[in-house]
Amino acid sequence: MLLRNYPEAERYFNRAISVSPDVPLAYSWKAWLYLCWEGSTGKAREVLEEALQNIGSVEDQFIILRSVLLNVFDGDYQEALDRLSSCKLEAFDTQFFFIPKVQLYAQINGLMGNQQLKQANYESARSILETKIKERPEDARFHSSLGIAYAGLGRKEDALREGKLGVELLPVSREAMRGLYRVEDLAHISVMVGEFDTAIDQLEFLLSRPGCMSIPLLRLDPAWAPLHDDPRFGDLLRRMNLPAP
């Protein structure tokens, strides 16, 4: 999958599911595969439905997050909020990212035009993340997420500082996979604060090496929508839109 050999990745995810149909991990990554490969929310939903049928009630945080994001990508923002509200987690806490639930509320409310709720949610996320950083200042995930919260609050310089610090604390040169999440967060922050050239530089880097970033995902995720009219972004899509091996 990271090498963008999507047909081969699909084959191995299918094998993993057939061997262990009660384990959520392969379903969550197979669902994301279809978004990276084809931008197909329909196929991704079918995978998550299969997980529910085979496992029953799934409280795996990857599957919950995938479900929320699928609703966002399809423009079903109220469904996304409802799915988020129904889960017991206060944050999505993995080796790749730390996302307070209120930060997702903020992003979805922003897409819905609920500005007051968006601001209140970002303020709550800021408070959570600043506390986390006091406890563990070396954790790059917290800095990246705090940068997104600052960007949502209009604190441009603080946002870029935290996003860059996240990349510095966990560079791709040290963590070839996990470091990519920090670069993607910096790109996201850069879009939010209007630094489109910086964002496109980061996206070009992500597309130039093995990872989960893909052209279909860039077209699908509304986080990148502000870039759609930028000539450099259009040129990037044309140059990088190569067929999967």
CA 227 to chain CA mean position, Å: 17
Same-domain check for residues 184 and 69: no
Residue 121's pLDDT is what? 98
Same-domain check for residues 120 and 47: no
Q: Which two tokens stand for residue 124?
A: 């709550």
Same-domain check for residues 148 and 33: no
The model's pLDDT over 118-172, given as tens digits with 9 standing for 90+, comes to 999 999 999 999 999 999 999 999 999 999 999 999 999 999 999 999 999 999 9
pLDDT at 245 over 90: no
Same-domain check for residues 69 and 134: no
Same-domain check for residues 127 and 240: yes
Residues 173 and 179: beta-carbon distance below 8 Å: yes
Count, residues in the chain: 245
Residue 241's pLDDT is what? 67
Q: Which of 32, 50, 75 is the last residue of a domain?
A: 75
Q: Which two tokens stand for residue 40?
A: 């197909």
Same-domain check for residues 236 and 130: yes
pLDDT band at 10 (very low <50, low <70, confident <90, very high): very high
pLDDT at 203 over 90: yes
pLDDT at 115 over 70: yes
Burial 37-57 (b: 16+ CB within 10 A, else e): bbbbbebbbebbeebeeebee
Half-sphere exposure of 201 (CA within 13 A, CB side): 7
pLDDT band at 47 (very low <50, low <70, confident <90, very high): very high
pTM: 0.94
What is the rounded average pLDDT of the residues 74-97?
95
Question: How far, in Å, CA of 204 to CA of 188, rounded?
Answer: 13
One-letter amino acid identity for 56?
A: G
Range of the domain at 36: 1-75
What is the rounded average pLDDT of the residues 73-101?
96
Same-domain check for residues 211 and 135: yes
Helix (H, G, I), strand (E, B) or coil at 211: coil
Same-domain check for residues 61 and 33: yes
Query: Domain with 228 in it: what CATH number?
Result: 1.25.40.10
pLDDT band at 57 (very low <50, low <70, confident <90, very high): confident
Question: How far, in Å, CA of 88 to CA of 154, rounded?
Answer: 29
Same-domain check for residues 148 and 200: yes
DSSP for 29-91, please give it. Answer: HHHHHHHHHH--HHHHHHHHHHHHHHHSS---HHHHHHHHHHHHHTT-HHHHHHHHHHS--SE
